[in-house]
Structure 1
Amino acid sequence: DQALFYIQRPARSTSEIVWKILKESGKRPGHKAALGLLAGIISDTGRFKRASPEAFAAASELLAAGGFDYEEALEALSLPPDLSQRIAVLKAASRSRFERQGDWLVAWTTVNSFEGSACMALKEMGADVALVAGMHGGKVRISGRSSREAARRGLNLAEVLSRTAKEFGGEGGGHRSAAAMEAAGDPAAILDACRKKVASSLLWEPEL
């Protein structure tokens, strides 16, 4: 009975939603909190490549609220990865597989941790779409990343991973080009289901 529900139209980052809630409740974040929220916006929007006018407005307000400049926010995102993260990414790359779907390259792999970092690495290596699976607490967690061109072509990773998660009794979501899901089951089977949906979306031709 005391649950609090907050309904927000689609935003480009979770940080935008948190910032709006803080403003509406009259709360003013401190330096570290504002810096963290801005770093979240920068990260989720691909350094503003996928930003909306609302995201730019929130970023400007957070700069003023936190009393820091944009360079400091970028530095917060530029910390070098630790050794365990680098090892996980290299292992993911070494065991990765890929296939060509038309003019698109789809890569997938498994790791024990750092799925998001492994996704970004595969994308930077040339994949248009990267899918990485890992096990966490008995559940399969899959992260997905795609190029902006693939998203423009019609691929929506949030929809792909959300649909797959429901098929396996889990949950998923995110953005068109960056999403994640978690469900119970066989990692290979869930990863394969995601891969097939990605392929179908990339090869779909709209009716003229």
Structure 2
Amino acid sequence: MRKDLREIIASLKEKRLIITSHRKPDIDSISSVFVFKELLPKATIALTKEKDESAKKLMDYLGISASDINEVDLSQYDGLIVLDTSSTVLVPAAKAAKVFLLIDHHQPQGRDVKADFEIIDEKAPATSEIIAHLLDKDNALGQISGKAAFALACGIVFDTARFKSARKETFEILAKLMEKARVDYEFIRSYAEPQKKRDEILAILRGFQRVEIFESGNYIIATSSVGSSASEVATILAEVAHVAFVAEWKEQEKETRLSARACNDFPFPLNEIAAAAAEELGGKGGGHKKAAGLSVKNKKPEEVLKACLRAFSNRSSST
């Protein structure tokens, strides 16, 4: 039976918990984690060492202290709270520990995390929005701190790509969060879209230099391979191309990770295309209809990009 968030939190207060999210946590996941740490002060935040570059400024402002999830002794805890993902590929700790609560907004491809309480809203553009609505439903939005409200607002602005995937409820809850946080939109945006550092700018521009252009039917596809900042390159390319696939090789993990982005009127679900390409190569993929990703072990970017093009062609020709 579905319980209110207030009841779930009350049932977890005395447990030894780790609050975690997907690898390379972004602003939406960082914001969600911060709020749950406020709701469950005794819990420990544990994340991967590698953070999304955009999230670092917000982490500093919020004063988040996180352990390395790969170094935590899970046996010393009762279990996990998993936020903003439902795939063990993105949160391997969920394979080794009990999960009490899962909150996510991604599509079902690759979803294999099981929890005592699962709150999944695939129509929500951000996990931060789900959490804000849950708090609002419990009349608890006014009880969180201004910083927590600010964090949720940042998560919403970030994960909607400045409202590209927003819905009516997004603006309604954002207004309440801004009122609670007592901040204006420009201040939120300065943390939800922080100024990029020199190295990141150069990585993005080098990604543009490697762009290849393909046409499939009426659609223009841009592909590239980068050393870092794959999601940022894909997002910008999708402003002009119908679809962008950008691959990034991770030497330490011997793995290619790919970010896929689509323009607003692209009709095919990218999460299904990413999942099909990943399955062909023995990896995992999924995400959202306009923003997806995949990861494949022991396959170089060129091979993964070709698989994405094949998956795109198969999906577009099947309609």
TM-score in terms of structure 1 length: 0.83
Equivalent runs, 1:187-206 vs 2, <5 Å: 187-205=301-319
In the alignment, residue 157 of structure 1 is paired with which amino acid?
L
CA distance in 1, matches of 2:134, 2:276: 29
Q: Which residue is 1:41 aligned to?
A: 156
Q: Is the CA contact 2:132–2:152 (under 8 Å) kept in the aligned structure 1?
A: yes
RMSD over aligned CA atoms reads 2.4
Q: Deviations over 1:52-74 (max 9, x none)?
A: 23322331232133221222212
What is the DSSP-based 3-state SS (H/G/I as helix, E as strand, rest coil) of the residue aligned with 1:73? helix
Give how far 1:105 is off.
0.9
CA spacing shift, 1:19–1:166, aligned 2, 3 Å: farther
Cα distance change, pair 78–8 in 1 and its aligned pair in 2 (3 A): closer
Alpha-carbon distance between aligned partners in 2 of 1:104 and 1:45, rounded to the nearest angstrom: 24
- Greater gyration radius: 2
Q: Aligned pair in 2 of structure 1 residues 19, 165: CA closer, same or farther (>3 Å)?
A: farther
Task: Give 5+ residue unaligned stretches, structure 2.
Answer: 1-78, 80-97, 101-114
Question: Matches of residues 56-135 of structure 1 in structure 2 within 5 Å?
Answer: 56-124=171-239, 126-135=240-249
Q: CA deviation at 1:143?
A: 0.3
Q: Gapped runs of 5+ residues in structure 1?
A: none
1:148 aligned partner: 264
The match for 2:128 is 15
CA distance in 2, matches of 1:22, 1:138: 41
Runs of 4+ residues deviating >6 angstroms? none
1:86/1:51 CA distance change after superposition, 3 Å: same
Give the Cα separation in 1 of the matches to 2:131 and 2:229. 24
More helix, by proportion: 1
Decide whether the 8 Å contact of 2:270 with 2:289 is kept in 1.
Answer: yes
